[in-house]
Amino acid sequence: MANNIFGIDLGTNNIKIYKRADDSIFVEKNMIAIENKKNYFAYGDSAFEMYEKAPGNIVASYPVSNGVIADIKNMESLLKYFINDLSDGNLKQADFYVAVPTDVTEVEKRAFYDLIKDANIKAKKIMVVEKAVADGLGLDIDVKNSQGVLIVNVGYDTTEISILSLGGIVLSRLIKMGGLKFDEAIRTSIRNEFGLLVGGKTAEKVKINLRELEKANKPAVVYGRDIVSGLPVEREIPTELVNNALVEPFNTIIDNVKVILERTPPELGADIYRHGIYLTGGASQVNRLASLIQTGTGLKVNLCESPIETVAKGLARVIKDDNYKSVAYSIEGMGR
């Protein structure tokens, strides 16, 4: 039987793994929980379940930070657990295609390759694909023949703004802005307005439910700790307060998109104008972000079905379609 092939998008918040054998995409929290500083306690979604709730001796953390691998050892363990599970406990030789951010150092890029090589997952061939190129393919854009495609991937720790042309990347900027900062802005405004401390998961839930709440004309009901009394309380948070809290982080994204547009070679402008901006990444779904980007840039904004999975879908296309094999490259021996 031919080798199995995996495509990996190593997000700060979610790991996405495309598995060629059954043509499926697996998504779980990219998190590991460790007990007493040494024993693996849980990983993936079950580690996230404990996050912010576990006793002091269990520490749950994300080994990827700001889009790059920050904790190599834990990331290797996590990857091995996931690939082992996806192989039904029977690891076989496999090829790996990994998506990497563009606007990072050569050393940080190489770390993605080294991770797969060193994780004991029987990697045979390891290929790298620029994340934005995979994103474009995942959106079903014919990236090899398009001149001027603007993709904005709003993730957890980062937003990657890229201009693609003819299968390559013309410009790319990775900024430290994303879903986590949105959650933090919500927490800060609830604290300032209501004297209430809420957890990160609560803020995330409010953020995700915002559109529905607004439609239903209902406030967000949250539980937290009152700053003055120190007691747990329930409060109703108006959606307008949450919307206002998000304007500033949204503007950071809009300003950076404008900077990229200013630097884009004018010959690419026509296509970008015609197609508009493609929004991907989980946090691109937050209420009003798309419409504010549209107003702020004057460009049409395209949303997609499963924005968390577009990079993994693009890797699937590279793996399945020989026409796109050329966008993947090997970095073996590079930078050493």
Question: Which residues bind to ligand ATP, rule: CB under 6 A?
Answer: 11-14, 67, 155-158, 178-180, 204, 207-208, 281-283, 285-286, 308
How far apart, in whole angstroms, are the C-alpha atoms of residue 107 and residue 92?
28
Nearest to 183 by CA among 211, 156, 145, 158: 156
Q: How far is CA 128 from CA 211, 255, 315, in A?
A: 37, 30, 10
Nearest to 290 by CA among 246, 320, 334: 246
Nearer to ligand ATP, 48 or 113 (CB): 48
282 binding partner (options ligand ATP, Mg ion, none; Cβ < 5 to 8 Å by kind):
ligand ATP
Supply the minimum distance, in Å, between the C-beta of residue 8 and ligand ATP: 12
Nearer to ligand ATP, 144 or 173 (CB): 173
Structural contact between residues 281 and 178, judged by C-beta atoms closer than 8 angstroms: yes
The burial class, CB within 10 Å (0-12 / 13-18 / 19+), for 333 is: exposed
Nearer to Mg ion, 3 or 306 (CB): 306
283 binding partner (options ligand ATP, Mg ion, none; Cβ < 5 to 8 Å by kind):
ligand ATP
Per-residue DSSP letters for 216-266? HT-PEEEEEEETTT--EEEEEE-HHHHHHHHHHHHHHHHHHHHHHHHHS-H
Nearer to Mg ion, 196 or 283 (CB): 283
14 binding partner (options Mg ion, ligand ATP, none; Cβ < 5 to 8 Å by kind):
ligand ATP
Supply the minimum distance, in Å, between the C-beta of residue 135 and Mg ion: 9
Nearest to 254 by CA among 262, 243, 242: 262
For Mg ion, the binding residues (CB under 5 A) are 11, 155
Nearest to 220 by CA among 251, 248, 245: 245
Nearer to Mg ion, 7 or 155 (CB): 155
Nearer to ligand ATP, 67 or 148 (CB): 67
Q: Nearest to ligand ATP by Cβ — which residue?
A: 179
Supply the minimum distance, in Å, between the C-beta of residue 290 and ligand ATP: 11
Token reading at 259: 């900077």
Supply the minimum distance, in Å, between the C-beta of residue 90 and ligand ATP: 28
239 binding partner (options Mg ion, ligand ATP, none; Cβ < 5 to 8 Å by kind):
none
Q: Three-state SS for 288?
A: coil
Nearest to 313 by CA among 281, 271, 289: 281
207 binding partner (options ligand ATP, Mg ion, none; Cβ < 5 to 8 Å by kind):
ligand ATP
148 binding partner (options Mg ion, ligand ATP, none; Cβ < 5 to 8 Å by kind):
none
